[in-house]
A and B are shown apart, each in its own frame.
Chain A
Amino acid sequence: METLNYRFEGGQRPLSGMPQLVGVVGSGNLEILIEPAHLKGACEIEVRTAAVGFGATWQAVMADFHARWSLADARVSVNDMGATPAVVSLRLDQAVESIADLPGGAP
């Protein structure tokens, strides 16, 4: 297992609502827990993945995610069992869409 941490500043859309879990920790899949958190406007992401050595790919996928949603005061926790970048991106979008109506709507 490998643990990766990301923190994105400057998000414009503070997250609110009840914590939500989407996805399943199964082969080629992942679960994402998304919840509001007081993080001085940041969006923090922790990834625990069974596929070791893909840090650069995760970095790119998460940077895209932040560019897409611009979340603030959000904590995103990921348990991954080898999901592809496309699946990760879809699950991240599903997680945000499940939690609340964000100001400004979907990107």
Chain B
Amino acid sequence: MSSYQELTARQRIPAMFDAGSFEEFLPPSMRIVSPHLAQLDAAVSFDDGVVVGRGKIGGQVVFGAAQEGGFMGGAVGEVHGAKLVGMLQRAIDERAHAVVLLLESGGVRLHEANAGLIAVSEVMRAMLDVRAAGIPVIAVVGGANGCFGGMGIAARCANTVIMSEEGRLAMSGPEVIETANGVEEFDSRDRALVWRTTGGKHRYLLGDCQVLVEDDTEALRAAALDAIADIPPGGAPLTLDGLLAEQAMLERRLHDTQGLTEPMDIWKGLGMPDPARVPMLEPDAFLTLAAQHRATPTLGER
């Protein structure tokens, strides 16, 4: 067993793709760096914090990317976003079998302002274009920086979100909420609370991620392979039925969580026995319990 969380983006690529199969587009030796950071006299990175390219997973041609959380929290600048978009468009042109995105990002790189915002929206559009072309998109969220802001939304544009328990997925990050609404609203230093509200188990119970595995590179790789195989022919595109099912799930959530501020109360409402024990459960025991209670996007009355 080896931790995925502790790997850098560049180490995650060979851990997820078949040995020696990955060919990087715009590698660091091309020095495509952020023009905005240079103008601000801030440190740049030769890959602008993201590795993009084409490789194989289980022998099939899979396009992919890995965001480096260690560089500016994985935040998306203009170049970073353009690299993701270019890779996604090429995946369509070359009829990729699937796209696997190893996401770790605080969202838009605020230094780059509108350029970063536009970049993230272009990433979302490109992900949906890939799906519309019949190519499954899988998002993997298991890095220490989590997946927040615009990239949190982008992750949910994928067919399947795979998380580790340690992974985090949300819109506004804990510090952002505390800064905007005060410590009474959210104490970002309460680590247990942070994981209860954004961590993999919570996201799995609420139906925001479809697969939860332990923090292990082999487990995440196997989950990605399974996720690709599980999407039926013609199942990749976003459909009206799929959107309506998601909307129904969100409406049920809004209704069922009225007035609740503690995730354990939400789990209790879903029917999870002994919610205080949930954070301590091993993955297998958790998944067995969660299977009967987790929310899923299905049409109709519950």
Contacts and interface: CB of A to CB of B under 8 A. Distances in A.
Chain B at the A interface: SS class:
loop
Nearest to A30: B43
B55 to A, nearest CB: 16
Nearest to B46: A33
Interface in B55-77: 68, 70-72
A81 interface: yes
A70 interface: no
Interface in B17-51: 27-29, 31, 41-47, 49
Interface string B71-101: 1100000000000000000000000000000
A19 B24 CA distance: 12
A25 B70 contact: yes
A31 B51 CA distance: 14
B8 interface: yes
Given A33-B46, A48-B43, A25 B71 contact: yes
A61 B72 CA distance: 26
A80 B43 contact: yes
B70 A26 contact: yes
Interface residues on B, range: 10 to 19
Interface string A67-83: 00000000001011100
B41 A25 contact: no
A23 to B, nearest CB: 8
B43 A21 contact: no
B156 to A, nearest CB: 27
B252 interface: no
B70 A21 contact: no
Nearest to B24: A21
18 contacts: A1-B42, A21-B27, A21-B29, A21-B47, A24-B68, A25-B43, A25-B44, A25-B49, A25-B70, A25-B71, A26-B70, A31-B46, A35-B29, A48-B43, A77-B46, A79-B43, A79-B44, A80-B43
Contacts of B268: none
A3 to B, nearest CB: 11
A29 interface: yes
A19 B41 CA distance: 26
Contact of B29 (A29, A33, A50): A33
